Amino acid sequence: MLHCGMREQDARTLRRQSAVLCKQLVVDELLIQCLQADDILTESMAENIMAEQTSQKRSWRLQLLLPKRGPKAFSSFCSALRATDQQHLCDLLTQTSETNGNGTHVETCVDSSVPLPTQEAVPAKRARAHESLEVSLDADSPINTPVLPCTPDFYLSHFQQSYKMASSPRGFALVISNVTFNPCAAPELDPRKGGEVDDEVLRKVFTELEYSVTVQRDLTAQGIKTCIQNFSGRPEHRSVDSCVVCLLSHGVEGAVYGIDGELLQLDWVFEAFDNAHCPLLQNKPKMFFIQACRGDEMDCGVEQIDGPSRTSSPSCEQRDAGREGEKDAEGRQRGDICRPRIKLPQRSDMICGFASLKGTAAMRNTKRGSWFIQELNTALRLHARDRHLADILVQVNRRIKDREGYAPGTCPPPLQGNV
């Protein structure tokens, strides 16, 4: 006889452990993605679960659905727990299921096609705080699941519309992270607690994306400038297909601070990689990620009174480039117009992700790192295989908006601005 639901033994296990799951289970986007990949959850089910405001409510809704999703739902759920560093819950469920089944063998839940995440001294059970706020913050910890690979079919159907990304390494990545500032030269700049988490998260994710990553910490403004000059001038850029630059520091609109309290203009940073100053990266994607405040205002939001539940606008800004100047007119007078040329705008093939809007502060968890870097890490690991970076940044923007659903005028500790 065919059963359309979960095995009674497994369903009974979920019912027995429902209280523990509601208290300890972290239902985040990664776990939901794993269940969707196994066809356990439909897209509408996933959206309904993630629409719940707390992890406990998401857990409860998921537990109501799982027993109805077929005989493989239990093993897929256990596999998702492993992939999201919740091994202790997987062990709890499988041990209980084995006991309930009177020694009946329980199907193992490891998908051999997906490598398990590496664990670096991870405790057997995640530390949980009693306050619901802390539970929510713990759910937002950086994920360690391996970067999901692109399928051959997807690559073959999209590579002609994409940048060439075949070099090994894919490119060079530079991460500059200012955490501790000079108390004498910059007494107004507090240490960026949690910033050390960010640069390690970026190092790991870009290494897994096959970049050669260099991390520099605690540089003066001149030190940042020298480091970027040396990096943009590397002759090895000729043989790679892309470039990544990450700047993490305190900042203001259009500039970031060195540890000496001096400002470095971001416009100069972009100029160092433009087509005139960095010809070895012409026609290659150059990606910038800026984790810094762009002002000191707090965006605590307003109550929505009309419109869809989620805006479709990515709030992007564009600026025209590539104007012809006086030198071009002089060239035409010399007769160069007869020689066919390919002209590039001064700046092209660049994209930049900012942690905050103009004039506002960027948020950072003092234990788990910056909101922007956390969400960027998650999105890159899950979607670098099949989404344009611009779409990934839109998703990051939306996820950060979801985090800002706290009461207007309040900011949940232990968060602080990057200003």
Q: How is residue 152 written in tokens?
A: 């051959």
Say if CB 194 and CB 370 are below 8 A apart. yes
Helix (H, G, I), strand (E, B) or coil at 244: strand
Q: For residue 270, what are its two tokens?
A: 């972009």
Task: Write the DSSP string, 89-146.
Answer: HHHHHHHHHHHHTTTPPPPP---TTSPPPP-SS--SS----SSHHHHHHHHTSPP-PP
Are the C-beta atoms of 360 and 293 separated by less than 8 Å?
yes
Q: Which of 34, 78, 246, 250 is catalytic?
A: 250
What's the DSSP call for residue 373?
A: H
> What is the residue type of 283?
N
Q: Which of 78, 109, 246, 293 is catalytic?
A: 293
Cα–Cα distance for residue pair 52/30, rounded to 1 Å: 16
- Residue 278: active-site member: no
The CA distance from 185 to 180, in Å, is 12
Count of CA atoms in the C-beta half-sphere (13 A) of 172: 18
**Looking at residue 2, what DSSP letter applies?**
-
Task: Using alpha carbons, list the distances in angstroms from residue 406 to 10, 138, 375.
Answer: 37, 16, 18
Is 250 among the residues known to form the active site? yes
Q: Both tokens of residue 363?
A: 């948020």
| Number of C-beta neighbours around residue 308 at 10 A | 7
Structure tokens at 259: 């540890």
Torsion sign (Cα): 133, 138, 139, 140: positive
What's the rounded Cα separation, in Å, for the pair 266 and 340?
34
Instruction: State the maximum Cα–Cα separation within the chain, in Å, rounded to a whole number.
Output: 92
* Contacts of 235 by beta carbon, 8 Å cutoff, 6+ apart: 280
Catalytic residues, by residue number, are 250, 293
